[in-house]
């Protein structure tokens, strides 16, 4: 038995696709309309997943997203960039975990049980 939950290739592809859509919606690319569609593949990937698998799938989306948007930190420090990306990706992972745990409840309750984790560092950086 493996220590990691089993995830299929469709879930991984959907997770990466969601992250790419989010990256494309940021100012460097200006495909802002992708922001409205970006979480659909991730939500599809998280459908009926156990909490550990949901965390890993969401964490992978976070890794791809934050690598694509925080790449500029490499000019400051490579170890710092890696640590920031690994840390901020936990926001995505926690979102997937909370969504998986709340999946048995009604949609109204899910809105309150799933905290609005997301893009803390990127939101602040875009202000400057």
What is the domain extent for residue 67? 9-43+50-127
Number of domains making up the chain? 1
Query: Quick one: three-class SS letters along the chain?
Result: CCCCCCCCHHHHHHHHHHHHHHHHCCCCCCCHHHHHCCHHHHHHHHCCCCHHHHHHHHHHHHHHHHHHHCHHHHHCCHHHHHHHHHHHHHHHHHHHHHHHHCCCCCHHHHHHHCCCCCCHHHHHHHHC
Q: What is the pLDDT of residues 24-33, one digit of tens each?
A: 988 878 888 8
Q: In this structure, is residue 1 part of a structural domain?
A: no
**Residue 84: inside a domain:** yes
Does residue 36 belong to any structural domain of this protein?
Answer: yes
**pTM, two decimal places:** 0.81
pLDDT tens-digit map of 97-112: 888 888 777 666 666 6
């Amino acid at each position: 038995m493996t220590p990691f939950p089993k995830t299929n290739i469709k879930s991984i592809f959907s997770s990466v696709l969601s992250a790419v859509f989010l990256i494309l919606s940021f100012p460097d690319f200006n495909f802002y309309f992708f922001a409205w569609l970006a979480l659909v593949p991730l939500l599809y990937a998280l459908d009926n997943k156990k909490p550990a698998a949901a965390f890993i799938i969401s964490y992978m989306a976070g890794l791809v997203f934050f690598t694509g948007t925080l790449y500029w930190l490499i000019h400051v420090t490579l170890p710092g960039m890696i640590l920031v990306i690994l840390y901020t990706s936990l926001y995505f992972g926690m979102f997937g975990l909370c969504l998986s745990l709340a999946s048995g409840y009604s949609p109204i309750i899910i809105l309150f049980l799933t905290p609005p984790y997301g893009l803390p560092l990127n939101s602040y950086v875009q202000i400057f």
